[in-house]
Structure 1
Amino acid sequence: MRVFLSWSGELSEKIAQIYHNWIPSVLQAAKPYFSPKDIEKGKRWSSEIEKELHSSSICLIFLTKDNLDSNWIMFEAGAVSRSIGISHVCPILFDLEPTDVSGPLAQFQATKFDKEETKKLFLMMNSAIGEHRLNEEVANSVFEKWWPDLNATITDTVNQHKSKNGKKEDVRSDRDLIEEILLLTRNINSNKPTNHTANPLPYEYTAYKTVIKSIESIIDRIMLVDSDYGHLFDILGSLRTEIAETRSINDKNRRGIISDIKSIEDRLKIDRARANDLSLDDEVPF
């Protein structure tokens, strides 16, 4: 069973690394994927992430105060939920309360990092393994043996992070985010839900709005280069196609999203024309 570990930010990355080492110790049939470590040298990291997202059975999301609004985490949660269903997308809260979680992530069942909640998550993961799962007695014994190590390591890591007094985090860049969104939207139609009902997830409408909001934020924050424009137009085109085929979105909301997409496309055309010192009447290569 493959387990995708979703992180963003310094503390979240360290916690994901801890879980990456801990999970195989308690569930030998589980294979966790942690993006910085597991990508083979020479492979495009973003392509590997896309592949892992759609081949995982469970997604663990490591939420901290620093990454509650992370675009990375929202997209990764949305992508994997399309394949495995909402019930196996599991945000884990570190120094947070469930009420702190809002937006698209609020629909997932969050787990506070404490012994009781972590054990429930562990037993759910064990059950998802299927025929290779541990029996109940062994599972309880294994958790009791390994929980103190996990708790001590996580607690020490969180406390060390707090002691840095607000040091700025080295989060993944907006340009990297463009690359990942591009790959995910290109593969939406080829990765239909398989392990849950055929009805589309309510998550989709919120996810589309989040994508659009994130693209607008990226345009506001960074100086786009030529390749960025091409990727963004590709993303918007893929979104337009997917939205047209999504039954869970009513006609009014569909028209609103398509209008948002057109507004962004018009803005990108103007910005790209200015960047290339062209008239808006000139043909801009997309």
Structure 2
Amino acid sequence: MTATKVFISWSGSPSLVVARVWAALLRDVFDDSVDCFISDEMEAGVISMAQIRANLDGAKFAIIVTTRANQNAKWLNFEAGVVSRQLPDDEMPRVVPCLVDFDAMKEVTGPLTMFQMKMLTEKGVEETVRSLASVLGAATNVHTKRFGLLWDTEYKEAFEKAAAVVKNSKDPIPDPRPEKDILAEVLEGVRRLQAGQSQNSMSRGPAAQNPPLPLRDFSRARMDHAIHRWLVKNKFDPSHIVEIDQVNHPDDDLSLVTVKTTLPVNAANALENSLNSAFGDISSTVFFNCESG
């Protein structure tokens, strides 16, 4: 049986300590069923799509080791975005940011908030193990029981020590960034992806190339209708939508739409997937992020 590749992303040497504990735990829980790959942090100037694809090829699950200091790191966010785009589009949480030194999920800012985040606690680690077991098609109860034994005898202490390295680190914790800066980072990632995909698009001929609609053609009424239709279909009251923010990048036809809701996490993720699918004709210029709270 071929092992399933699990990608573990980190940025900054303190988070590497946590990444190594994660790799050891998953190997102990799943034995030869998983092949854990810990990313190498490369300088921004030498990153290429070929290198990223070589490292990520075949990955079915990803853990993003996230700290207060690295949550907005250019490489970490870009790497997470590339991983998520190549994984299957289903309801399973296949990209999981692991929050190391946060007191609450609401403290996280930037693109990583679009994924199903987990705190570095026994509950958060166990839920991540369960998610990976589901992706593997394995017996969840068997691996959960094994995790419980390993947590009590070894990994509770190992994660606590790794988290202490992060908390005691002198890495500066950045101030919260303006949304326009986050948007600019997403734009840069999109440009890299489009550059890597352009040759394939040309090879399929002009008929296969479907340019996205310009941002001015993105209708707020159309979006409101799509959200309302999804709520009705899934039997949620419209009052679950708290606020809708749209931030436009000043120099490009790019928009980040954040939908703040009181929906359960799974429902918010499903709404986000539905919107990104419904507006696929402008998917390279409009990004949806649905928050649960």
Shift of 1:51: 2.1
Structure 1 residues 210, 17: CA separation in 2 closer, same or farther (over 3 Å shift)?
A: same
Residues in 2 aligned to 1:236 and 1:18: alpha-carbon distance in whole angstroms: 31
> Which residue identity lines up with residue 117 of structure 1 in the other structure?
G
Q: Contact 1:54–1:79 at 8 Å: present in 2 too?
A: no
Q: Which amino acid aligns with 1:139?
A: H
1:189-236 CA distances to partner (integer Å, 9 max, x unpaired)?
A: xxxxxxxxxxxxxxxxx9874244689xxxxxxxxxxxxxxxxxx959
Q: Are 2:101 and 1:101 aligned?
A: no
The residue that corresponds to 1:252 in the other structure is 216
Alignment RMSD, CA only? 3.8
The residue correspondences of 1:38-49 to structure 2 (distance < 5 A) are 47-49=50-52
Question: Is the Cα–Cα contact under 8 Å of residues 6 and 62 in structure 2 kept in the other structure?
Answer: yes
Q: Return the alpha-carbon distance in structure 1 between the equivalents of residues 15 and 30 of structure 2.
A: 22
Residues matched between the structures, number: 195
Spell out the pairing of 1:136-285 with structure 2 (5 A cutoff).
136-148=140-152, 149-164=154-169, 166=170, 209-212=184-187, 235=192, 238=195, 245=210, 247=212, 251-252=215-216, 259-260=251-252
Aligned AA (1:91) = P
Seen in structure 2, the aligned counterparts of structure 1 residues 253 and 31 have a Cα distance that, compared at 3 Å, is farther
Question: What residue ranges of structure 2 are gaps of 5+ in the alignment?
Answer: 174-180, 202-208, 219-247, 254-293
Shift of 1:72: 0.9
Question: Structure 1 CA distance, aligned partners of 2:109 and 2:123?
Answer: 23
The 1:129/1:251 distance shift into structure 2, 3 A limit, reads: same
Contact 2:71 2:110 in 1 (8 A): no
Runs of 4+ residues over 6 Å off in structure 1: none
Q: In proportion to residue count, which structure has more helix?
A: 1
Q: Which residue of 2 aligns with 1:34?
A: 38
Structure 1 26/213 Cα, relative in aligned 2: closer, same or farther at 3 Å?
Answer: same
Deviates more, 1:146-155 or 1:110-119: 146-155
2:66 corresponding residue in structure 1: 63
Q: Return the structure number with greater strand share.
A: 2
TM-score normalised by the chain length of structure 1: 0.57
Number of the residue aligned with 1:128: 135
Larger deviation, residues 148-157 vs 23-32 = 148-157
Choose the corresponding residue for 2:120, options 109, 113, 118: 113
Other structure's SS at 2:70 match: coil
Q: C-alpha distance in 1, partners of 2:171/2:99?
A: 20
> CA-to-partner distance for each residue in 1:62-87, whole Å, 9 max, x for gaps?
00111011111111111111121483
Q: Distance in 1 between the 2:193 and 2:135 partners?
A: 35
Change (3 A) 1:236 1:258: farther
Report if aligned partners of 2:110, 2:182 keep a CA contact under 8 Å in 1: no
Aligned-pair identity (%): 22
TM-score computed with the length of structure 2 as normaliser: 0.56
> Does the Cα contact within 8 Å between 1:24 and 1:32 map onto a contact in 2?
yes
